Structure 1
């Protein structure tokens, strides 16, 4: 029987205190009160040490402890706020947790969340942006907006009404004004992405767009269901603004009944198509997201055929697997969503892309699609390089099973989503034969 006595969990500050088995590393920005709140960089290392009494612990115990450490690290990232001290650094207040400090990235992409304003206040919620000198190529503002859908894969319908992630700040416009002014002062143009459960239903949207209109350097992209744009009056009021240049919506199937069932609202499929038409008619760039589930993965080829007539206008499809949002969704929460209804297995994903690869119009359809947040070993070798969208850094709510350590294609691969790992186990990932997949079986279930 495996030894179930706990290992000692180590939170270390700096490499000199690093635990023997490092599970996760998070860079943070912190303020040092003794020096007038001077901002500094630090690093939290999560891992475990084996005590002498547990030196012979089984691999299964170590794997369980590793998963616990990784989950703890992800929880702290989701919390956005950490107050505490570490040995040798008493009195430090750590906040704005990031896996990689954005100040190190040229043309950084940042996300600011309205709930942070509620939790931290205006000034502290701006620390992430203000500690990111230089160009910011894209800033996403995630608003706590209402939504009339209940997507099976969305966290928000399942949160308690008082959850911090749903908090709405009375100071949002003041906060946004400071954000936009800060961005405008940076070199180069910036894109501001307004997102949330359904940003079009946020009563403050008009005021936010009025603020953005003051800055010619800032372009606006809207991200969300976008079904409200089926209303011609709202479409004109929002899309008619010069600074709104792009939108990204969600379409889950070519079949209206499948899409509507997955998002929990009748008529949503028709509204998405009307929104795409409205945006293209006004010259906007349009992108489409799709989450592949057991109910719609087999529709991939026909969904691309539905979008293909718009390909000349630049419409693209980005497909991904269900992964719970980092904000506000604990493992117990996404487990309650019935993983068998949400989480595809590798065979189903390969079959969907294999069907696409065999289609007589495959070349045209493949030019429209990219696969994001899907383990590369889940994709057929013959089309892998054409559809993969590499990730630049580790993602929240993803994990890399032990087999991934020996994979020559691990760079740029997201690994498995945590729900997929929970549903299918570590055996769901296996190493590629080469970084490019050369020598892999083309369209079979083998890799």
Structure 2
């Protein structure tokens, strides 16, 4: 919990969501929610963000994720004066009840389920509610942290063995989850937080369709260098270009202060203030008198020493008072919950991410319009009749932009090159989607400023 001093400053959220069927699935069983919706694109009060990844035969998974995203935010906001952790846990359990009852109502829905990763932004803090292997991340000051624990066989085995998930034998399937909403009458809900919000925090909520193919370091660099809208689009594009084996859903949310200098990146309430030290002024006065005495007394060494002391004393007289201590978190948020963060990635100078994007753009540039250089099964696009479609691009409109991006990379402008490469990839992906005529890209955006 934060040190209790001043009330939490008002925050504003800018959030963007993207959901995509991917390259290999026929339907999209993911669902996303940003609530409340604002026609003006602004939420000054509480915000509720959520990603759900459904599972089940036929349309069962799609229905399960929709039931979760319809039920949980609405139930949470109808909780009245209930403490946020209690309201969030109750809302998730109510969704589990609905999905479980639906699964028991017909044979085609039996066993239906969904993951659920919720982020509540309220009273100057972030609270996470979580079931399954969808994830919530936070990017702050160049550090990318996973705030949720994957309820998967791999992570459970790693925790039991007290090793990292990367050290679990590769023969253990990564897509087996140990907890979800719906299959069972009761569910254990993980709560994490509350985490005090800061100006510039960026949160990422995503399904495993992203994290299965895009590593944390690359995602962190994109979130650090691009706007929420561009970052969300770039993450989905990368997941698809790396095979898109599953549905892909992301929400990117950036925290801004409602008051203060947002351009500086530091809220006005947290900036150091200039303060005059009475002790320093007193020492300066003594040094000034001594300097005058030594000077008129014909003692240049003493006068010089006193002058130096005077300068030091004056410098110490005007000090910057440290910023106010972290804002108070409401007692309604309760004590700290969970054990997160569970993983931590340093962003660094983004050179590796820029290099990855450069290689990817170079590969895309080889998909010439006059020849097919990649087998259809490598990037399994489908045309209207369900047969593999040729992957061919007219690269001529992108040649100059690729050259500019390469030049930025070569001179060490990794942020600029990431921006340029992401734009090229977005344009290339738009061309691919238009060519194969499947209209697979289903996306929507909400801007909360």
TM over 0.5: no
Higher alpha-carbon Rg: 2
**Where on the TM-score scale, by shorter chain, does this alignment land: which range?**
under 0.3
Which structure has more RCO (C-alpha within 8 Å, separation ≥ 6)? 2
TM-score where L is the length of structure 1: 0.27
